[in-house]
Structure 1
C-alpha cells in the first residue's frame, strides 16, 4: 500500500503554494479565523517531504461545521476524522495523490503549539532536520502498510524531540 504521495526534495515553490491555498481557504473562515500557519515538512526549507502542503487554521471557535464542510468541498477538500478533540482535519487529493492537508484548531489547542514548535526546531537545527529527513526516507523505503505505518514510525522521533518520550 502506497503513501499518500512520494517524498521529494525540498521545492522552493512550497511557500508560494501555501500562500495561494491560504488565500483560497481563508474566506470560508472569516467569522472565526484567527490566523493561518504553514506547518509540516513543506514549511521547513531544505527538508525533503511528501509534497503535501499543510495548513494549520487557528479559529476562535468551531462555527457552523456543516457550512464549513460544504465550503471546503467546493475547493476539493474532504472532511476527515478529527485527529483529536477539537482538531478538525480536511484533505485534498488530485488524481489520487494528496496535495493539501488542513488542520483546524481552536486557539489554545495543544496541537497548535506542538506543530509550530516542531516546525521551528527543524527550521533552526540542521542536524535535527537531517536526522528527521533520513528517518522519513527510511520509513518510506520500507513501508508496506501505508500512511498509518509511516506516521507511527515518525511518532517516537517527534515525541523524543518534543520531550515526551
Structure 2
C-alpha cells in the first residue's frame, strides 16, 4: 500500500508553495485567525520529505466551522477527522496525490508547540535531521500498510526526541543523546 506521496529530496520551492497556500487559506479563518506556520518536513531545508506542504493554522477559537469548511472545499481541501479536541485536519489532493495538509488548532493546544519545536530542532541539528531522514526513507522502503503504518512507525522517534527536549528544557540541561 502506497503512502500519500513519495518521499523526494528537499525542493527549494516548498517555502514559496507554503506562502501561496497560506495566502489562499487565510481568508477561510477570518477574525479567528492568529497565525499560520509552515511545519512538517517541507519546512526543514535539506530534509527529504513527502512533497506535502504542512500548514499549522492557529485560531483563537473554532467558530462558524460550516462556513470555513465551505471555503476550504472551494480551495480544494477536504475536512478529515478531528485529530483531537481542538485540532481539526484538512487535506488537499490533486489527481490522487496529497499536496497539502492543514492542521487547525486553538491557541494553547499542545500540538502547536510540539510541531514548532520539532521543526526547529530539525532545522538546527544536522545530525538529528539526517537520522530522521534515514528513518523516513527506511520506513518508506519497507512500508506495506500505507500512511497509517508510516506515521505509527515514525511516532516513537518523534516522541523520544520531544521527550528528551522537554526534560532538558525543564531542568535547563543539555539534551541527552538519542539512540
What is the TM-score of this pair, normalised by structure 1?
0.98
- Say what the alpha-carbon RMSD is for the aligned residues: 1.0
* CA deviation string 1:84-104 (max 9, x = no partner): 111000000000000000000
* CA deviation string 1:40-82 (max 9, x = no partner): 0000000000000000000000010111111100000100001
What is the TM-score of this pair, normalised by structure 2?
0.91
Structure 1: where are the runs of 5+ without partners? Answer: none
Provide the aligned length of Structure 1 versus Structure 2: 165
In the alignment, what sits opposite 2:134?
134
In the alignment, what sits opposite 1:157?
157
Q: Deviation of residue 149 (structure 1)? A: 0.2
In the alignment, what sits opposite 1:99?
99
| Whole-angstrom distance in 1 between the partners of 2:64 and 2:124 | 38
In the alignment, what sits opposite 2:169?
none
Question: Where do 1:54-65 residues align within 5 Å?
Answer: 54-65=54-65
| Whole-angstrom distance in 2 between the partners of 1:105 and 1:120 | 19
Structure with the larger RCO, 1 or 2 (CA within 8 Å, 6+ apart) = 1
Runs (4+) of structure 1 exceeding 2 A deviation are: none
| Whole-angstrom distance in 2 between the partners of 1:132 and 1:29 | 33
In the alignment, what sits opposite 1:75?
75
Q: Deviation of residue 28 (structure 1)? A: 1.1
Q: Deviation of residue 31 (structure 1)? A: 1.3
